[in-house]
């Protein structure tokens, strides 16, 4: 009898290795959320934590928005525009956003701080001064930040509205940012449209910006990168080569992950059964390389509840273990490792600063620390011979 029970338990463990997970109260980690909007207002982190709890979200990578929308009264009158599509006014980089995020985080009790991974975003990626800004913010708020982003290089409807020089993928300033992120251990969340906008749904060619992006990602193999939305956007549609491009990166750039986020992109990914199945197959083939995020901006109660479920049609056709990796586990692997590396860098370089650094801020457990340091992250499939894209 005992043996039968043991066999049954073994069978259960074999076929339902994630059974214990379903008993957990958290289903998601959110790899992409903007606490502030384009006029730098939004909910408090305390309020947002409440939303996370209501929606089964354990941890969030918390960004502000790097850009502020100009309020030109001559043009827009007394009604302050708050979204870039609602006005012809310019956008400009707003560095104070990093202090807003840091102060929100530091105002939380320590147990709640562990639920967040704050990101530095208030810099111009076309400006070589950005590396100094990042170091300055880290020295002002040691023990707080885990990454940089989301910042944009090419973004439909936004790039052209930014005052000053446009960012480009070949800019030396961007290279310096990637290099610094590798040195400190910061995760980089980058938005870069993979193709020019408004090309329609059926472009039969390589996406225009893919080659430049691929070269950048290859050039900095020690930088952990999350390419937001796989390069898609509101009016940036996947070309016939989209999956081929993603696979080329997945196979050749083990440092790169993608996020599945933004309601505008969710519509494209889940638009019909055939498309859903194609994306599901990609996630099944590379389950450790995608992270789920909402890309919610200044999340309100109803909006966030909606956004957290915008990929349900995709989850519905994925096996449970792939869902758990994409919705939850990949986040913990990437951000736990980043936190350990960034805290270690701070200890080494900012040791004499006050206040003293809490090290590490996410995990006090030294056994976990060892585990993360020793973890061999299984990323790429090394054989690139099947790639058909030539650069």
Stretch that binds Zn ion, among 69-77, 150-158, 302-310, 374-382 (CB under 5 A): 150-158
DSSP class of residue 101 equals H
DSSP class of residue 162 equals B
Q: Which is nearer to Zn ion, 104 or 150 (CB)?
A: 150
Around Cβ 348, how many Cβ atoms within 10 Å? 8
Q: Is the dihedral of CA 297, 300, 303, 307 positive or negative?
A: positive
Q: How far is the CB of 66 from Zn ion (least distance, A)?
A: 10
Stretch that binds Zn ion, among 143-151, 175-183, 266-274, 351-359 (CB under 5 A): 143-151
Q: Write out the binding residues for Zn ion, residues 168-207 only, by CB under 5 A.
A: none
What is the b/e burial string over 2-23, where b = at least 16 CB atoms within 10 angstroms of the residue's CB? eeeeeeeeeeeeeeeeeeebee
Rounded to the nearest 5 degrees, what angle is found at the Cα of 32, between the Cα atoms of 371 and 258?
A: 70
DSSP class of residue 165 equals S
Which among 171, 172, 123 has a CA at the least distance from the CA of 147?
123
Contact 177, 125 (CB under 8 A): yes
Which residue in the set 104, 150, 259, 307 belongs to the binding site for Zn ion (CB under 5 A)?
A: 150
Contacts with Zn ion by CB under 5 A: the residue count is: 2
Contact 240, 202 (CB under 8 A): yes
Q: In the block, which residue shows the tokens 């390389």?
A: 289
Q: How far is the CB of 152 from Zn ion (least distance, A)?
A: 8
Residue, CB closest to Zn ion: 295
Q: Which is nearer to Zn ion, 151 or 209 (CB)?
A: 151
Residue 70 in the binding site for Zn ion (CB under 5 A): no
Token readout for 21 is 């997970």
Q: How far is the CB of 295 from Zn ion (least distance, A)?
A: 4
Q: Write out the binding residues for Zn ion, residues 280-309 only, by CB under 5 A.
A: 295
Stretch that binds Zn ion, among 7-15, 36-44, 144-152, 335-343 (CB under 5 A): 144-152
Q: How far is the CB of 269 from Zn ion (least distance, A)?
A: 16
Q: How far is the CB of 233 from Zn ion (least distance, A)?
A: 10
Q: In the block, which residue shows the tokens 């055939």?
A: 274
Round to whole Å and give the CA distance between 95 and 140.
13
Q: In the block, which residue shows the tokens 């993360």?
A: 372
Q: How far is the CB of 148 from Zn ion (least distance, A)?
A: 13
Q: Which is nearer to Zn ion, 295 or 307 (CB)?
A: 295
Spell out the residues 6+ positions from residue 228 whose beta carbon is closer than 8 angstroms to its own: 32, 149, 150, 189, 190, 191, 258, 259, 261, 262, 293, 295
Token readout for 214 is 């691929």
Q: Which is nearer to Zn ion, 283 or 298 (CB)?
A: 298
Spell out the residues 6+ positions from residue 186 whose beta carbon is closer than 8 angstroms to its own: 120, 134, 145, 146, 147, 148, 180, 224, 338, 342
Q: Which is nearer to Zn ion, 101 or 318 (CB)?
A: 101
Contact 184, 225 (CB under 8 A): no
Q: Which is nearer to Zn ion, 117 or 295 (CB)?
A: 295
Q: Which is nearer to Zn ion, 190 or 206 (CB)?
A: 190
Q: How far is the CB of 380 from Zn ion (least distance, A)?
A: 26
Q: Directed axis angle between helix 273-285 and helix 242-252, to 10°?
A: 10
Q: Which is nearer to Zn ion, 30 or 195 (CB)?
A: 30
Q: How far is the CB of 192 from Zn ion (least distance, A)?
A: 12
Q: How far is the CB of 228 from Zn ion (least distance, A)?
A: 6
Stretch that binds Zn ion, among 23-31, 83-91, 149-157, 212-220 (CB under 5 A): 149-157
Q: Which is nearer to Zn ion, 303 or 349 (CB)?
A: 303
Binding site for Zn ion (CB under 5 A): 150, 295
């Amino acid at each position: 009898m005992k043996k039968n029970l043991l066999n049954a338990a073994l069978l259960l463990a074999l076929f339902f290795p994630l059974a214990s997970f379903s008993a957990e109260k958290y289903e998601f980690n959110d790899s992409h959320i903007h606490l502030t909007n384009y006029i730098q207002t939004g909910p408090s982190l305390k309020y947002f934590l409440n939303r996370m709890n209501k929606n089964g979200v354990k941890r969030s990578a918390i960004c502000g928005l790097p850009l502020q929308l100009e309020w030109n009264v001559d043009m827009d009158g007394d009604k302050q525009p708050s979204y870039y599509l609602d006005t012809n006014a310019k956008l400009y980089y707003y560095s104070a956003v990093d202090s807003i995020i840091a102060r929100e985080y530091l105002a939380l009790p320590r147990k709640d701080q562990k639920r967040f991974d704050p990101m530095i975003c208030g810099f111009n990626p076309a400006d070589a001064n950005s590396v100094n800004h990042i170091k300055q913010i880290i020295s002002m708020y040691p023990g707080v930040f885990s990454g940089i982003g989301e910042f944009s290089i090419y973004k439909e409807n936004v790039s052209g509205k930014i005052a000053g020089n446009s960012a480009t993928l070949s800019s030396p300033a961007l290279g310096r940012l990637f290099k610094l992120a590798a040195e400190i251990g910061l995760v980089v969340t980058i938005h870069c449209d993979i193709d020019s906008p408004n090309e329609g749904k059926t472009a039969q060619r390589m996406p225009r910006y893919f080659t430049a992006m691929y070269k950048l990602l290859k050039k900095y193999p020690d930088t952990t990168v999350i390419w937001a939305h796989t390069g898609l956007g509101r009016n940036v549609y996947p070309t016939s080569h989209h999956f081929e491009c993603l696979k080329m990166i997945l196979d050749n750039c083990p440092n790169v992950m993608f996020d599945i986020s933004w309601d505008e992109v969710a519509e494209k990914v889940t638009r019909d059964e055939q498309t859903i199945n194609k994306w599901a197959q990609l996630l099944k083939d590379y389950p450790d390389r995608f992270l789920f995020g909402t890309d919610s901006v200044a999340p309100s109660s109803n909006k966030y509840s909606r956004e957290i479920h915008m990929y349900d049609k995709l989850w519905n056709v994925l096996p449970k273990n792939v869902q758990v990796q994409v919705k939850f586990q990949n986040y913990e692997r990437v951000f736990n490792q980043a936190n350990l590396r960034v805290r270690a860098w701070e200890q080494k370089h900012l040791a004499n600063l006050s206040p003293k650094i809490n090290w590490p801020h996410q995990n006090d457990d030294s056994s976990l620390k060892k585990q993360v340091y020793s973890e061999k992250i299984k990323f790429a499939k090394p054989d690139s011979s099947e790639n058909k894209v030539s650069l």
